[in-house]
Structure 1
């Protein structure tokens, strides 16, 4: 009996050591896996792919989207999952009047979206001309984003091969420019597409047609226009033209993203 008891205790001790080692190793692997998954989620799986994310690319080319502003949080949220898709993208504004020079967003989008069909609207014709023939998958149109005739002509010409997946307004930032572009170009976005307006702080700057009093003033600004769209969404009305196929509005400091419904 004593011998059997000794063998039994030895078996229990060995088994305990075995299971301790197994579970200790499993716990270590699990912790590593969790950390890897968190990292991949934070950067939209870009780390695993071994390529730079939006912020890294934007800093490389010097755009103020990630320096003066923090737009990378909005763009990572909506664009990281679709960056490898075949996309048609329009940005208003080449940055010709910026102190860091034109083309920063131009090169950012071309690198960030490897399969992009990229369009730009730029008011400065002499500046825009330098970018019109740089690459076959980028097209530059010269015109004023507050000019309804120009926008109508642009929409007709630029959408002959399909509507836009994404439109980004980083143009002149005046109230007239932002609101006119939104109303005229909204129909040029695909169902399910995204319309982004940057630099919305100008809604509070008088020099851009804004109002420091915000919504307490009767003067319409881009921000007050967006508030009316929110009202439309909340009470199910279509007071504004674009409300009938507007799905959502998402805002953070100085930028809002409007999503179009996939089905009406």
Structure 2
């Protein structure tokens, strides 16, 4: 796939650790072993017990059989390597599993590592616990992660965890620190790519005014002034305002329906009077 060539080309000759979730017959693991010719480890995890019988000629390929979202499977993955440079989720494709897998595995992704969630088209399908407007679909989760990238500009007292509290539950410890390491979110057709970097690399820092000459646009701030964020509505205030608007819209809708019913009732009464007059 062309996109994978672009993503992984800088890592191709390095001694990387690769983890893939959902391997079926194991062919993809063999492909990764050839592509990353200097890889230290190519690990695969699949819930199908039959994968335990897979055999590989390349000793760098290791197989873990189990549910990646179980304690047992994650422990086995951790025994193979404490950190992975590349993690590819090609597992069950259901939204709850995709979200939970990311929360479990992102902590063991190395700094400068790449996390890939595949087959996100399933996020739009009800049979995979999704839908275009499904509040808790995997796509909505990753869209919410994209706001984390711009955290320093929110201008509110909300934390990253506040923003994701409906998704993150009680999975990982130190969630705020973990979320601060999300460097970028990229959406490709049916895929999401998340890059991880040390939190210091993900902040622009305070903006500072420099220069003394204002030949075009006059700036009231003096040379060396720091520019902070303008205070904005908090997450809870936004939700309240949206809720109020929805209630008001619903009330207006009901008032419109009541007016229609009243008009219909008047018509019925008028027709009844006319019919009574023409009775023999």
TM-score with structure 1 setting the length: 0.63
Larger Rg: 2
In the alignment, the residues of structure 1 paired with residue 30 and residue 73 of structure 2 have an alpha-carbon distance, to the nearest angstrom, of 24
- Specify the alignment match of 1:124 in structure 2: 48
Contact preservation (8 Å) 1:91, 1:121: yes
1:202 pairs, out of 112, 115, 122, with 122
Q: How far off its partner does 1:263 sit?
A: 5.0
8 Å CA contact retained: 2:64, 2:77: no
The C-alpha deviation readout for 1:48-72, integer Å capped at 9, x for no partner, is xxxxxxxxxxxxxxxxxxxxxxxx2
1:156 aligned partner: 78
Q: Deviations over 1:152-171 (max 9, x none)?
A: 41343132xx4101000011
Distance of 2:50 and 2:34 partners within structure 1: 24
- The partner residue of 2:4 within 75, 86, 94 is 75
CA shift digits 1:175-201 (9 cap, x unpaired): 122111100011111111111000001
Deviation at 1:112, TM superposition (A): 0.7
Deviation at 1:258? Answer: 0.4
Cα distance between partner residues in 2 of 1:221 and 1:150: 26
In structure 2, stretches of 5+ residues that fail to align are 153-158, 165-174, 201-280
Question: Are 2:85 and 1:85 equivalent residues in the alignment?
Answer: no
Match of 1:114 among 22, 31, 37: 37
Q: For residue 104 of structure 2, what is the aligned residue in structure 1?
A: 184
1:93-116 deviations in Å (ceiling 9; x for gaps)? 11x2xxxxx222122111111112
Contact 1:169 1:178 in 2 (8 A): yes
Structure 1 alignment gaps of length 5 or more: 1-71, 97-101
In the other structure, the counterpart of 2:146 is 230
What is the deviation of 1:245? Answer: 0.9
CA distance in 2, matches of 1:254, 1:150: 29
* CA RMSD after TM alignment: 1.8
Q: How far 1:126 sits from its partner (Å)?
A: 1.7
